[in-house]
């Protein structure tokens, strides 16, 4: 990861606290603890049960889904997949991004609208992944697609706000959000077009991000402008 976001200097204006963001983080953590409680193979069992499998979502795909993947109807897994994670690092990375970017996006939308926005971005991310990999029988799990939507919304709302990041996991720097998010987008695009197959759902990230860019226009409060935020706010 080129830049790990740590903290932004963007204060809340409409809500006293980011309850929806914290609730989503708590649900993700509790879901992961539940996965661990299922035993040695609990993480995989939960993924097989509630992960989103493209070959089940699009049954015309050329490869059949393996047995054991059909505990939930495929359309339901477009929601459940985004609350499951593969390991602690997967969970912590996604929740850190949600924590840093989510509070201000929630502030700009309101808790209920933000929650709906988050879920819709997650669904869009899952559909993007399934569309680009219709023959995949591997279950997709993780909140990164939904979180990517939050990142997209943040870019549209607060591109000039400063934030602290850890560059190459070593060097702390304060940079404008547009540079931080731009570097993140560049990494996603590079890995997609380099066709890197490392198990990361790069198309889900891009799908969620694009959904966030568009949907923020309809979900934000009418009094909140696009492309706002002072350089040092």
Tokens at residue 128, please? 């993007």
CB-based burial label for 119 (10 Å; 0-12, 13-18, 19+): middle
Q: Compute the distance between CA of residue 226 and CA of residue 220 in angstroms, rounded to an integer.
A: 9
Q: Compute the distance between CA of residue 130 and CA of residue 66 in angstroms, rounded to an integer.
A: 16
Contact between 69 and 48 under an 8 Å Cβ cutoff? The reply is yes
Contact between 219 and 116 under an 8 Å Cβ cutoff? The reply is yes
In which residue ranges of the chain is pLDDT below 70?
Answer: 1, 60-71, 229-233
Closest CA to 146 of 191, 199, 79, 195: 79
pLDDT for res 72: 74
Q: Compute the distance between CA of residue 217 and CA of residue 153 in angstroms, rounded to an integer.
A: 8
Q: What is the CA radius of gyration of the chain?
A: 18
The domain over range 3-219 is classified in CATH as 3.40.50.720: no
pLDDT for res 60: 64
pLDDT for res 153: 98
Return the domain boundaries, the chain. 3-219
């Amino acid at each position: 990861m080129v830049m790990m976001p740590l903290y932004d200097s963007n204060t809340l204006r409409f809500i006293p606290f980011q309850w929806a963001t914290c609730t989503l983080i708590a649900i993700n953590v509790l879901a992961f603890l539940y996965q661990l409680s299922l035993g040695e193979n609990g993480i995989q069992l939960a993924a097989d049960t509630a992960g989103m499998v493209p070959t089940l979502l699009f049954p015309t795909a050329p490869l059949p889904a393996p047995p054991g993947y059909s505990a939930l109807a495929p359309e339901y897994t477009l929601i459940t997949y985004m609350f499951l994670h593969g390991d602690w690092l997967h969970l912590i990375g996604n929740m850190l991004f949600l924590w840093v970017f989510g509070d201000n996006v929630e502030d700009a939308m309101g808790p209920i609208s933000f929650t709906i926005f988050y879920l819709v971005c997650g669904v869009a991310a899952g559909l993007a992944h399934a569309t680009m990999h219709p023959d995949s029988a591997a279950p997709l799990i993780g909140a990164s697609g939904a979180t990517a939507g939050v990142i997209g919304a943040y870019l549209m709302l607060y591109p000039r706000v400063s934030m602290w990041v850890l560059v190459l996991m070593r060097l702390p720097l304060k940079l404008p959000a547009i540079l931080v998010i731009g570097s993140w987008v560049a990494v996603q695009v590079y890995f997609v077009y380099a066709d890197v197959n490392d198990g990361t759902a790069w198309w889900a990230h891009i799908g969620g991000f694009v959904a966030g860019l568009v949907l923020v226009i309809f979900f934000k409060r009418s009094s909140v402008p696009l492309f706002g935020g002072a350089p040092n706010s």
